[in-house]
Amino acid sequence: WFKQRRPELLKLYETDIYGRVPANAPKATFKVLETDTNALNGLSVYKLVEIHFQGEPEGSNVILHEYLPAKAAGPVPMLLQLVFFSNLPTPETTSNAAAAGPRGRPVFHETGPLTNILERGYGYATFRYTEVQPDNGNTYHSGVIGLTLAPGQAKPAPDEWGTISAWAWAASRVLDYFATDPAIDAKRVALIGHSRLGKTALWAGAQDPRFALIFSSCAGEMGSALARRDFGETVDDMAANFPWQFAGNFQKYPGHWTNMPVDAHMLIALNAPHTVFITGGTQDQWADPRGEFLAEVAAGPVYRLLGKTGLGVTNGPPLDTPLITGDLGFNYHTGGHTIAPGDWQAFLDFADKHLKPKADR
């Protein structure tokens, strides 16, 4: 697995799906801008961290919001989440309730139940993905991708990174920073992402074995769901609507998706032996939650080969009944394209099994 098949699969994903990181990717530097030792009424130590990529103009930085449990006796495990919006975590103990937007629509609050996270002994950090690289096809000259383009070059080479690879690469740079902070146990870091950021989390975990756990929420097509099921969103949809997220070579597969040399179970298996937790929703059939479950089942043999366990079942579980006894976890929640409160609770229970020493469980 490690000497032959895994390198083959990783190369296929790099070349044809997400794109490889070019050799001239910029170096990252880190600066703690603020520290509040009495955040959340003494529950947390809060740090505002600036991540600067060499070559970016001053002021073009990624901002990391970091919360650590105030009374931790030693280095703590961390939950790192890539987020869409600028909204900061709030201290609800179960989940962030969705407030009504200007047209009465719910506002998606993606961040985790911060008080619960801290009380369980975890640190929690977030950064906004578009601060690394904009999420559209007209801005290749912006962000980290723009820093690697040669004069006159309009976009990356066909086998080089799309935006998913850029966001995943940035998550690993945050992990570099965690390794410099004595308050953090950088060997016990979980990476969390939803939707396209769930794809990003799986791809980051496949490339960087330092991540101990991956939580991929509703990642769907070209992420956690089997493409060959041809259910919900398809390869053709992804290639037409989000081409910038992938390598240029991905455009070989619209209309020919059965010729793709990989599928979602292989991406999950590339994360082995570290643990993976995946979720889907009843009202999110576009992301094919059944295909997500089947992909995890199909990744199980690699986990078992490496002395780990898979889901432990081959039939889908009842609704809102998490599978978290093995090294692969799954929850099919009632609801839509979101990280539901039950997903967070199941993930934290799953994390307790895999990120905490046995004495602390």
Which residues in 178-212 are b (16+ Cβ under 10 Å) and which e? beebebbbbebbbbbbbbbbbbbbbbbbbbbebbb
Interatomic CA distance for residues 277 and 279, integer angstroms:
7
Please enumerate in sequence order all residues whose Cβ is within 8 A of that of 321, keeping only pairs 6 or more positions apart, or say none: 331, 332
Return the HEC string of 52-84. Answer: EECCCCCCCCEEEEEEEECCCCCCEEEEEEEEC
3-state secondary structure of 217: strand
256 is catalytic: no
The DSSP output letter for 141 is T
Task: Considering the candidates 165, 195, 216, 224, report the single residue annotated as catalytic.
Answer: 195
Is residue 60 annotated as part of the catalytic site, yes or no?
A: no
- 352 burial via Cβ count (<10 Å: 0-12, 13-18, 19+): middle
Residue 139 φ then ψ, to 5°: -130, 35
Relative to beta strand 184-194, strand 76-83 is parallel
List the 275-281 sheet strands across, edge first: 28-38, 44-53, 62-69, 123-128, 76-83, 184-194, 213-217, 275-281, 328-333
The Cα 135–Cα 154 span in angstroms is 16
Q: DSSP per residue over 2-33, as a string?
A: TTTHHHHHHHHIIIIIS-BPPTTPPPEEEEEE
Q: Are 273 and 305 in contact (CB under 8 A)?
A: no
Q: Which residues have a Cβ under 8 Å from the Cβ of 359 and sit 6 or more positions away?
A: none
Q: Is the peptide bond before 273 cis (omega within 30 degrees of 0)?
A: yes
Q: Which residues are catalytic?
A: 195, 337
